[in-house]
Amino acid sequence: MKVAMYYTNKDIRIEEVPKPVPDRDELVVKVMASGICGSDVMEWYRVKKAPRVLGHEIAGEVVEIGEGVKKFKKGDRVMVTHHVPCGKCIYCKTGRETCCKTLRSTNFYPGGFSEFLRVPEINVKFGTLKLPDNVSYEEGTFIEPLGCVVRSQRLANVSKGDTVLVIGSGISGILHIQLARAHGAGRIIATDITKFRLEMAKKFGADNIIDAQENVPEKVKECNDRLADKVIVTTGAVPAIKQALKSVDMGGTILFFAPTSPGVEIPIEFLNLWSRCINIVTSYAAVKKDLEEALSLISKGKINVKEMITHRLPLSETGKGFALMTEGKDSLKIIIEPHK
């Protein structure tokens, strides 16, 4: 079968590898759609594990079933997530499932940018969901990223009436805007450095948009009379992190949704942070309950993901998709369709 093998962001090659065969309690899924995630183009993180097949936002059709599989059958339309927790460790038992060592080591084979996937037993149990008839394969690719957003906003307690500032209006930022609106946020303000993404932020529910190169805290106060209750940072850019620290209101919460590059240190005026009672929350990944909520939101039409798709490309053009994602000028969600 064909795969898109990652070497660097600018070097992605279409190669042939053996089609996977399911072992006991495993599945083989025909990948119908696979989304390019912002983390896929974090070259500092990806290149050290190259060459490998990336892609973890997938939806497809079950085409082979290993002995012992009971919950799925050939022809089922499914989404599959790559990272799943053990359900038994101290982290899983105390609601910190994404800190589980198993979650951080599990994966499917070979990756989402391929024609077929082998889904290990643990992923079949804890990371595979059937798609309802009203959710397309391409919409199914949003379940994993939206699940991450669902989890993070729960941790940050994004609530009805909140003023929410979303710093960075890429894929994650737009999902955060939509979910905050679904949670009943009173005002949503979005920033970005590109006009296209600011327009997308407005389209998908932001009440106000701000060019991130302006004085963001002052602009927030201009349109809201005060700073933000919740600040969601969807980029690891240092200026964005500094903006967040200055844009959160007394007793507010900053949610850091994205990482910086390794070794980056951010100076903080700690007394100011302490005296203003600021909460800092980080969030990583999602687990089955988050994915189930994400699927429900998409299925019920509460989150519009279909209109977020700006590009649909065949597997042979995965390299082009990475280039578009890296540039970030006029792209939002890029879907790879391995069988088109």
The domain made up of 156-282 has a fold known as: Rossmann fold (3.40.50)
Percent of the chain having pLDDT more than 90? 97
Alpha-carbon distance of 172 to 236, in angstroms, equals 12
Alpha-carbon distance of 278 to 256, in angstroms, equals 13
Q: Burial code of 275-306, b = ≥16 C-beta within 10 A, e = fewer? A: eeebeebebbbbbbebbebbbebbbeeebebe
Give the start-to-end residue ranges of the domains of the chain: 2-142+305-337, 156-282
Torsions phi, psi for 60 (to 5 deg) = -170, -165
3-state secondary structure the chain: CEEEEEEECCEEEEEECCCCCCCCCCEEEEEEEEECCHHHHCHHHHHHHCCEECCCEEEEEEEEECCCCCCCCCCCEEEECCCCCCCCCHHHHCCCHHHCCCCCCCCCECCCCECEEEECHHHHHHCEEECCCCCCHHHHCCHHHHHHHHHHHHHHCCCCCCEEEEECCCHHHHHHHHHHHHCCCCEEEEEECCHHHHHHHHHCCCCEEEECCCCHHHHHHHHHCCCEEEEEECCCCHHHHHHHHHHEEEEEEEEECCCCCCCCCCCCCHHHHHHCCCEEEECCCCCHHHHHHHHHHHHCCCCCCHHHEEEEEEHHHHHHHHHHHHHCCCCCEEEEECCC
Whether 2-142+305-337 shares its CATH topology with 156-282 is answered no
Alpha-carbon distance of 261 to 265, in angstroms, equals 10
The domain made up of 2-142+305-337 has a fold known as: Quinone Oxidoreductase; Chain A, domain 1 (3.90.180)
Task: State the distance between the two ends of the chain, measured CA to CA, in whole angstroms.
Answer: 14
**Mean per-residue pLDDT over the chain, rounded:** 97
Question: pLDDT for 16-70, tens place per residue?
Answer: 999 999 999 999 999 999 999 999 999 988 998 999 999 999 999 999 999 999 9
Average pLDDT on 70-81 reads 98
Question: pLDDT for 282-309, tens place per residue?
Answer: 999 999 999 999 999 999 999 999 999 9
Alpha-carbon distance of 312 to 333, in angstroms, equals 9
Say what the pTM is.
0.97
Q: So what's the pLDDT on residue 30?
A: 98
> Helix crossing, 171-182 with 143-156: angle to 10°?
60
pLDDT at 151 over 90: yes
Question: pLDDT for 14-30, tens place per residue?
Answer: 999 999 999 999 999 99
Q: So what's the pLDDT on residue 329?
A: 83
pLDDT tier at 279, thresholds 50, 70, 90: very high
